[in-house]
């Protein structure tokens, strides 16, 4: 019970620290989502009924329209117990501006799927998913335990992320089934496409074709590969379990997972870049769209996008490679190294590639395009903004006909330091008499002022308008 009271006093102190205080008045301003205005009235109105010492004013409430007189509202996203974990992950990297696209929506799928790609294992994913289901099934009991303070720190972290652990475990199980890996043991769910053959001094795996013959070290020839017999069977689902027992299994799986991770990572980055384009279009920011976004996406596609294309081309090309003996791989057409191809693309672009026809000309064009986009990304938008600011300044000077006019303004901070019960009449002459205002008038005026250095609270960032 004392913990509840202590937490209440702590929150009251945090609110008071955000208020403006004087000898007779404590005031604060903030943003509130439109959907929460009714809840605010239900909380505050019982204390304002018949009590002139408490006053609340919501701008734009009477007219039904939002009044943005204090700049851009802060960002507020509606979440529930399922989405709050993913939104918290996004907020650790950065919070989207008001009315920008919320990347937390896409993180609900991309984050657990990326976890599954990294930790793909049937056994591991099954345990994580079952643990999350247990936490969700006993949610009420564990919630009461957490509120009473009887939950350990580690269990508290897992319970808070229970709705994120559930899809993470599912995708880990799914990717593990593709890797055919269950706690580092392959599952032979279907008949393997490879046969184990012993040849006196060594053993090798040979692959079946659809006609029932196979290619081994004794009958290997280029005619067998390029002829009609070279139609190999494919394992029905995932990775053939024989790969886990082969001598080059580590190189095979590292190559497979690395190339797949590159494609998924580049796709993820392109998704973020295209979401930025939607923000520029929504806010009408043509300068950022043409001078920043277009060079960025062109550079991305010219480099990393091209690398993904080379991976797909190499995957879909049959090089007809077979083992001539236990240590030598015989290939009528040597498969190119993608790492060496990317290095040569920038260091030796004049050399002809072996991945596809016309590779040299295309790579030279992509390298030149990528190099031209670098200064465009760095200098084009700042130069345009600099030119626009100078043009605006020149128009202002021409509008004043070369003369400068004094602008009268009042300093709200000085008025408030002199006390909220009095204020200098702005219509009087300098050094004129003071006009005293009533307490209610002063309250209304205090809540109608707007300065940009002391706002707190939330604004609605998911399409709804906020009110000050």
> Are 255 and 86 contacting, i.e. CB atoms less than 8 angstroms apart?
no
How far is 160 from 146, CA to CA, in rounded Å? 10
pLDDT tens, per residue, the chain with 468 residues: 777 788 889 988 888 888 888 877 788 888 888 888 888 888 887 777 666 677 777 776 655 455 555 677 888 888 888 999 999 999 998 898 888 999 999 999 999 999 999 888 999 999 999 999 999 999 999 988 888 878 888 888 899 899 999 999 999 999 999 998 898 888 888 877 776 655 544 444 555 543 444 444 444 333 333 333 344 677 888 888 888 887 778 888 888 888 999 999 999 999 999 999 999 999 999 999 999 999 999 999 999 999 999 999 988 887 766 555 545 556 666 778 888 888 888 888 888 878 888 888 999 999 999 999 999 999 999 999 999 888 888 888 876 654 444 444 444 443 443 333 333 233 333 333 333 344 444 444 544 444 444 444 444 444 444 444
Tokens of 48: 């304002």
Q: How high is the pLDDT of residue 403?
A: 47
Instruction: Give the distance from CA 160 to its chain's centroid.
Output: 20
CA nearest 194: which of 217, 215, 221? 215
Distance CA 288, CA 194 (A): 55
- The token duo for 394 is 């020149």
Buried b (16+ CB within 10 A) or exposed e, 23-60: eebeebbbbbbbebeeeeeeeeeeeeeeeeeebeeebb
Per-residue pLDDT, 449: 47
Backbone phi, then psi, for 21, in 5-degree steps? -125, 140
Assign 3-state DSSP to the chain and report helix, strand, coil percentages, each to 5: 55, 10, 40
Q: Which of 360, 104, 322, 76 is nearest to 223 (CA)?
A: 322
pTM, rounded to two decimals: 0.69
| DSSP per-residue string spanning 240-284 | -GGGGGSTTHHHHHHHHHHHHHHHHHHHHHHHHHHHHHHHHHHHT
Could you report the per-residue pLDDT of 231-288, keeping only the tens digit for each? 467 788 888 888 888 777 888 888 888 899 999 999 999 999 999 999 999 999 999 9
Distance in angstroms (rounded) separating the CA atoms of residues 371 and 367: 6
Report pLDDT digits (tens) over 35-71.
888 888 888 877 776 666 777 777 766 554 555 556 7
């Amino acid at each position: 019970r004392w913990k509840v009271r202590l937490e209440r006093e702590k929150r009251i102190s945090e609110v008071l620290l955000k208020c403006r205080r004087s000898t007779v008045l404590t005031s604060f301003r903030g943003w509130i989502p439109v959907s929460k205005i009714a809840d605010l009235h239900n909380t505050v109105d019982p204390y304002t009924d018949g009590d002139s010492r408490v006053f609340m004013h919501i701008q734009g409430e009477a007219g039904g329209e939002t009044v943005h007189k204090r700049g851009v509202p802060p960002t507020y996203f509606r979440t529930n117990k399922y989405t709050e974990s993913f939104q918290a992950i996004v907020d650790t990297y950065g919070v989207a501006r008001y009315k920008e696209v919320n990347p937390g929506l896409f993180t609900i799928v991309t984050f657990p799927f990326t976890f599954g790609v990294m930790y793909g294992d049937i056994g591991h994913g099954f345990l994580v998913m079952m643990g999350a289901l247990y936490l969700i099934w006993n949610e009420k009991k564990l919630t009461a335990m957490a509120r009473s303070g009887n939950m350990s720190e580690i269990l508290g972290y897992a319970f808070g992320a229970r709705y994120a652990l559930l899809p993470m475990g599912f995708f880990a199980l799914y990717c593990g089934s593709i890797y055919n890996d269950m706690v580092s043991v392959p599952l032979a769910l279907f008949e393997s496409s490879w046969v184990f053959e012993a040849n006196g001094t060594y053993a090798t795996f040979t692959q079946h074709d659809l006609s029932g013959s196979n290619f081994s070290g004794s009958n290997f020839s280029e005619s067998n590969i390029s002829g009609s017999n070279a139609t190999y069977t494919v394992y029905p689902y995932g990775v053939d379990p024989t790969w886990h027992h082969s001598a080059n299994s580590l190189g095979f799986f590292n190559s497979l997972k690395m190339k797949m991770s590159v494609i998924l990572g580049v796709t993820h980055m392109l998704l973020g870049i295209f979401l930025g384009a939607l923000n520029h279009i929504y806010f009408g920011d043509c300068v950022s769209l043409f001078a920043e976004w277009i060079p960025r996406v062109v550079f991305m596609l010219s480099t990393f996008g091209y690398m993904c294309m080379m991976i797909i081309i190499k995957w879909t090309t049959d090089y007809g490679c077979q083992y001539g003996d236990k240590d030598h791989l015989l290939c009528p057409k040597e498969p190119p190294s993608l790492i060496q191809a990317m290095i040569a693309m920038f260091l030796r672009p004049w050399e002809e590639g072996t991945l596809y026809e016309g590779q040299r000309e295309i790579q030279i064009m992509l390298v030149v395009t990528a190099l031209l986009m670098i200064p465009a990304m760095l200098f084009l938008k700042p130069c345009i903004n600099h030119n626009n600011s100078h043009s605006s300044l020149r128009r202002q000077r021409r509008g004043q006909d070369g003369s400068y006019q004094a602008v009268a303004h009042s300093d709200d901070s000085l008025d408030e330091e002199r006390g909220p019960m009095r204020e200098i009449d702005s219509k009087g002459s300098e050094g004129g008499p003071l006009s005293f205002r009533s307490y209610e008038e002063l309250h209304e005026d205090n809540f109608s002022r707007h300065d940009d250095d002391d706002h707190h609270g939330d604004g609605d960032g998911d399409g709804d308008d906020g009110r000050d």
